[in-house]
């Protein structure tokens, strides 16, 4: 029960933080971190596939409600949710040796967690920016946007991971 409560709390916090704070960051006129994807990254392993997709849909849809261009976050997040099981299998070949209920820096180790989040964040951001412009003619600009934003998102992901990590330490 407490695990579900934690997931819901995580959802609310990340969405609110995204909408009220991160959407207002105008860094370098190019990049915007989308930390809410961390919610998809950190969903429990045991989640069935269909629920993972539905949750991804709801998450993207909620972020879309707060922007004028509907659907782009929904499409990108569902895509990320769809690829998540495959990427997890790729970075964690031996599922049995996994500690913890959900992917985190603490449980997976720095290298594995970074590989996992770099792949998913870049895929999510790239599809997001591609859908926003909806054409291939500015592909290099789109890639630059993806790169800068992914970097910002990843930095924020690592910071939040360490904050959670230290919180767990003090808990025990």
Partner 1 sequence: MQTLLALLVKHKFFLLFLVLELIAFTMIINNTYYQRYILINNANKVTGTVYQWKAGVSEYLFLKKVNTSLALENARLHERIERYQLGSEETHTYPQDTLTENKFEFIPAKVISNSINKRNNYLMIDKGQQHGIKPDMAVISSDGVVGIVINTSDKYSWVMSVLNSNAKINGRFLNTNFQGSLSWDGKNYRIGTFSDVPSHVNITTGDTIVTSGYSFIFPPDIMIGTVKDYYIDKGDHFYTATLLFSADYNNISHVYVVRNNERDELLSIITDISI
Which lies closer to partner 1 via its Cβ, residue 11 or residue 164? 11
Q: Is 125 in the site for partner 1 (CB under 8 A)?
A: no
- CB of 55 closer than 8 Å to CB of 49: no
Per-residue tokens: 170: 């003090």
Which range of residues in 64-72, 90-98, 105-113, 114-122 is near partner 1 by CB under 8 A? Answer: 64-72
3-state secondary structure of 27: strand
Spatial CA neighbour of 25 closest among 153, 139, 166, 127: 153
| String marking each residue 127-146 x if it binds partner 1 according to CB under 8 A | --x-xxxx---x--xx--x-
* # binding residues, partner 1 (CB under 8 A): 42
Return the axis-axis angle of helices 72-91 and 110-133, rounded to nearest 10°. 150
Are 156 and 18 in contact by the 8 Å Cβ rule? The answer is no
Select the residue interacting with partner 1 from 3, 9, 67, 163 (CB under 8 A). Answer: 67
Among 82, 104, 118, 119, binds partner 1 (CB under 8 A): 82
Q: Is 28 in the site for partner 1 (CB under 8 A)?
A: yes
For residue 31, report the phi and psi dihedrals to the nearest 5 degrees: -105, 150
**Footprint of partner 1 (CB under 8 A):** 19-20, 23-32, 49-50, 53-54, 56-57, 60, 64-72, 74-75, 78-79, 82, 129, 131-134, 138, 141-142, 145
């Amino acid at each position: 029960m407490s695990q579900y409560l934690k997931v819901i709390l995580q959802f609310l916090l990340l969405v609110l933080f995204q909408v009220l704070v991160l959407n207002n960051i105008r860094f370098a006129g190019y990049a915007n971190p989308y930390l809410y994807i961390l919610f998809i990254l950190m969903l429990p392993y045991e989640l069935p596939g269909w629920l993972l997709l539905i949750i991804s849909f709801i998450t993207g849809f909620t972020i879309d409600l707060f922007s004028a261009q509907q659907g782009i976050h929904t499409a990108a997040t569902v895509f990320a949710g769809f690829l998540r099981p495959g990427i997890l299998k790729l970075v964690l070949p031996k599922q049995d040796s996994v500690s913890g209920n959900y992917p985190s820096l603490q449980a997976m180790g720095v290298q594995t967690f970074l590989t996992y989040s770099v792949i998913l964040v870049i895929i999510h951001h790239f599809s997001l920016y591609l859908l926003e412009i909806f054409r291939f003619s500015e592909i290099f600009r789109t890639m630059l946007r993806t790169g800068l934003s992914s970097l910002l998102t990843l930095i924020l992901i690592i910071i939040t991971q360490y904050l959670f990590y230290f919180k767990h330490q003090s808990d025990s």
